[in-house]
Structure 1
Amino acid sequence: MAIHHAQAGEVVSVQPLAGALAQTKTTTLVKSEHLEVLRLVLPAGKEIAEHQAKGDVTIHCLEGRVTFDVGGKSIEISQGELFYLHAKEPHSVRSIEDSSLLVTFSL
């Protein structure tokens, strides 16, 4: 079965998952030639090793708290905050609490 990605004009809910957070997996919401949007779900303590994206990235914390290590600095974001990374900027991520993030990549 193919994974459903939202089509232009389709409404997608990105409300906090609350009680469903622990049972929800990361999901790609939109994927096109130049853009990808996903809901990244991270349980508390989860770490994503240093990596980089081809294009610019925005990260909107929908719920929880996470720390990004970027350029020798640790930057924490929590619910309602948005974070931006330049293309090819090395970074790692660590979830402080159960969290979900809306991540947008330019491709």
Structure 2
Amino acid sequence: MSAEAAPEPSTITILGRSATSFDEQYPIRPGRVAPTNVFKAEGVRVIHLTFAVGQSLKEHRTPMPAMLHVISGRVLFDADGHRDELLPGAVVYMSGGAPHAVTALAESRLLVVLQTAE
């Protein structure tokens, strides 16, 4: 993850005003997946992921429940023996410990929201 610290939360924090809000701040880097912590508050952490075409996160598990939101691009999402192509606007919920993998079919941006505490 990026060494950059996520901003401290206030009562209301707007993380992005549109689907393109993160484009300039977090450019897609050729040949790699680039995760950045963009927000952390009690019980939640938000990570912005950029994927260059063809890049992937191999099968892994997140110990806590998570939601994945495709902001832009196209990705293949593999989980539970199924492969789904996800497009902008797609949202996926994963219970803690669920094995999954993501591969970019196009330059892509995802937000992952992790539930860090009950």
What is the TM-score when the length of structure 2 is the normalising length?
0.77
Q: How many residues are paired up?
A: 106
- Return the letter of the residue paired with 1:96: L
Matches within 5 A, 1:1-107: 3-8=5-10, 9-13=12-16, 15-16=19-20, 17=23, 21-22=27-28, 25-107=34-116
- Return the letter of the residue paired with 1:45: G
Displacement of 1:32 in angstroms is 3.0
Distance between the aligned counterparts of 2:4 and 2:48, measured in 1? 18
What is the identity percentage for the equivalent residue pairs of Structure 1 and Structure 2?
Answer: 24
- Return the letter of the residue paired with 2:108: S
Structure with bigger helix share is 1
Displacement of 1:34 in angstroms is 2.0
Distance between the aligned counterparts of 2:100 and 2:6, measured in 1? 29
Higher relative contact order (CA 8 A, sep 6+): 1
Q: Is the 8 A contact 1:77 1:83 kept in 2?
A: no
Structure 2 unmatched runs, 5+:
none
Runs of 4+ in structure 1 displaced over 6 angstroms?
none
Displacement of 1:21 in angstroms is 4.1
Structure 1 unmatched runs, 5+:
none
Displacement of 1:22 in angstroms is 2.8
1:58–1:2 Cα change, 3 Å: closer
Q: Is the 8 A contact 2:66 2:95 kept in 1?
A: yes
| Coordinate RMSD, CA, aligned | 2.4
